Structure 1
Amino acid sequence: MSTTRRTAVEDLQATRPSAAISLSRAGVTRSAKAIRIRHSGAEQLFHAEISCFCDLRPDQKGVHMSRFEETVNEAIDEVVLGEALRVEALAERIAQTIVERQRALRSEVTIRASYPVEKRTPVTDIATQEMYGLIGVAAADTDASRRLVGVTAQGMNACPCAQGLIRGQAEDDLRADGFSDDEIERITRLVPIATHNQRARGTLYLGAPDGPDIDADVLLEIVEDGMSSEIYELMKRPDEQYVVDRAHRRPRFVEDSVREMVRGVLERFPALPDDGFLHAHQANFETIHTHDVEAERFGGVGEIRAELAGGRHSARHLTLQEWLAGRS
């Protein structure tokens, strides 16, 4: 029996599809890479997952998947290792190259990196390693590109609703035991009131086409401060006491955390242009319910700034996809 080796392989991706319909997105997801990023003034090696997409013409059967990998690898080797660009700048570089190599009208790239940060516990000052998320998102077309940076951090929230119920019960019990109203007010002000706690995760994205550079460390501070308390992987008992006490003196709903993140961004970045974009998301993982809760706010910086100043309800919130497409 003999076999015949084909001397040429047909480029199936370049052939016509059975249905001449363009696709909004096609690409690769969760491509694991080791990338070097400038962070806190130094280069650090991070594990990252990269997703790359582009649109597809109606006369082309498929995108060239290998070109996504080639583009990512070349950008990591030539750009990040040599120049230590920010993660959002790397995403933008990849998105621009994809448009060219895939002959696409537009592309979108997301890079999600996990990286450790050494922190000190609030009372005993021992070193503990905390894991944070760093996210870079970029979109490009044949004429322009946009990018934004995101972060994600864990913390805890103390529920204001349950705390109000326990406070009322404590006031009734103290009053029945003969305490005066002034004494009850003093006691409930000095003693933390019990409530149920929620592990929480905050995520914050910020982009500004012609605005100032955005420091991811500042975004992480805003995310953690939006919750009742930050948390630590390693704590001694005095640290645990501090965290629990802090959380119960700052009870917050999931909605409160989102609003505090948004307000924190506008206060910490006053030079943000109105055509910038902000997306704050909070997820609380319930302890006394079988469900979890989430809240978010996204929109243009100008619309959010005006709403915060005047208290008026924006009829429509600009979406991330619209902003990336330049429709701010």
Structure 2
Amino acid sequence: MKELKDTQNERDTRQVSIDRVGVKGLKYPIVVRDKEHRRQSTVATISLAVDLPEEFKGTHMSRFVEVLQDHKRHLDVHSAVQLPGKLLERLQAKRAHVEIEFPFFRSKAAPVTGMEGMMDYGVSFVIDERLGEPVDFLLTVTVPVTTLCPCSKAMSERGAHNQRGIVTYSVRFTSGPVWIEDLIDLIEACASCPVYSLLKRPDEKWVTDKAYDNPVFVEDLVRNIAIRTESYNAFSWYRVEAENFESIHNHQAYAVIERTLGDQKKD
């Protein structure tokens, strides 16, 4: 068989290195454990990348998929953490970057009737590794919440406007990982009220009253989460972002706090 030309290995003379090159949008099964030690099977969307020195024209795209396909049936957290190291070896790179996003499902009981409904939350792992350095693991959860406006409540005689918000919460651990459910619970406890998938009339009254009794600005929401985060010893870094989809404005309200724990707060 005639040998096929390998263009990727040709030398590039433009003297421009590339920070990340690879593949995005790969779908692959992943199994995660929930707090009750059950296996939850879901589908991840995966991005894999490495750096490319200036002298190389291209990378070998097929090798990214080969690394993923080494896991014949599915990924889990342990095999996911190993992916950057395998990319470094297979592609002879100095830096590797992996992003894994998936829906995490949780059965949630309505507050009064106790009827169960399935909620989905966004979860992502971002895993980076430099040659000869420890793996950096970043866990992010995205959680919907209800917020009720304190200003509207203070001014109005017959109610207050509320809205659904989205909290995006990212953490790095000091030692072992924490449960995804614990991060969800922490966020929901800081909002005016959690969001549910199934509510009957008694439940709807409860969540309406709950939100009215616990008004929070978007600023309150991120501050509440920051205070709870810093009360634990489990985290070395966090970032909390809240976005409220305003019910009476044609825009979103937004706030973010990012801290490396132990550092002085920065403006």
TM-score normalised by structure 1 residue count: 0.76
Partner of 1:284: 244
Give yes or no for contact 1:75–1:93 (8 Å, CA) kept in 2.
no
Match of 1:120, as an amino acid? A
1:270 corresponds in structure 2 to: 233
* Corresponding residue of 2:23: 28
Question: Match of 2:199?
Answer: 235
Residue 13 in 1 paired to residue 3 in 2?
no
Which secondary structure state, in structure 2, belongs to the residue aligned with residue 111 of structure 1? strand
Higher helix share: 1
Q: Which amino acid aligns with 1:19?
A: R
SS in 2 for 1:299: strand
Q: Among 42, 47, 61, which residue is 1:46 paired with? A: 42
Equivalent of residue 203 in structure 1, options 168, 175, 188? 168
| Aligned: 1:99 with 2:81 | no
2:107 equivalent to 1:155: no
Runs of at least 5 residues in structure 1 that lack an aligned partner in the other structure:
1-5, 171-192, 308-312, 316-328
Aligned to 2:178: 214
Q: Distance in 1 between matches of 2:255 and 2:69?
A: 36
- The answer (yes or no) to whether the contact 2:142–2:166 under 8 Å persists in 1 is yes
Q: Which amino acid aligns with 1:69?
A: V
Counterpart-to-counterpart distance in 2, 1:56 and 1:70: 18
Which residue, out of 68, 73, 80, partners 1:72? 68
Q: C-alpha distance in 1, partners of 2:61/2:221?
A: 40
Please state how far the C-alpha of 1:30 moved relative to its aligned partner: 2.0
Q: Take 1:115 and 1:271, find their aligned partners in 2: how far apart are those partners? A: 21
Rounded Cα–Cα distance in structure 2 between residues aligned with 1:59 and 1:165: 65
Determine the C-alpha separation between the residues in 1 that align with 2:103 and 2:251: 27
Matches within 5 A, 1:248-263: 248-263=212-227
RMSD: 1.9
Q: Which residue of the other structure, out of 248, 260, 266, is the alignment partner of 1:300? A: 260
Q: Secondary structure at the match of 2:210?
A: helix
Q: Which residue does the alignment assign to 1:165?
A: 155
How many residue pairs were aligned? 265
State the distance in 2 between where 1:140 and 1:13 align. 23
Name the SS of the counterpart of 1:58 in structure 2. Answer: coil
**Distance apart, 1:17 and its partner CA:** 2.6
Normalization by structure 2: what TM-score? 0.92
In terms of fraction of residues, the more strand-rich structure is 2
Helix, strand or coil at the partner of 1:302: coil
Q: Partners of 1:63 and 1:28 in 2: how far apart?
A: 11
Tell me, in whole angstroms, the C-alpha distance in 2 between the residues paired with 1:106 and 1:58: 14
Task: Give the one of 107, 117, 122 matched to 1:128.
Answer: 117
Identity of aligned residues (%): 29
In 1, Cα distance between equivalents of 2:38 and 2:50: 32
Do structure 1's residue 117 and structure 2's residue 126 form an aligned pair? no
Q: Which residue of 2 aligns with 1:184?
A: none
For 2:164 and 2:97, locate their aligned partners in 1 and report how far apart those are by CA, in whole Å.
Answer: 32
Distance 1:13 1:29, change over 3 A: same
Q: CA deviation at 1:271?
A: 4.8
Letter in 2 for 1:213: P
Q: Residue 70 of structure 2 aligns to a residue in which SS?
A: helix
1:59-86 Cα distance to aligned partner (Å, 9 max, x none): 11122211111112224647x4xxxx43
Distance 1:94 1:314, change over 3 A: same
Hey, which bits of structure 1, 4+ residues long, moved more than 4 A?
Answer: none
Report if aligned partners of 1:24, 1:54 keep a CA contact under 8 Å in 2: yes
How far apart, in 1, do the equivalents of 2:259 and 2:50 lie? Answer: 24
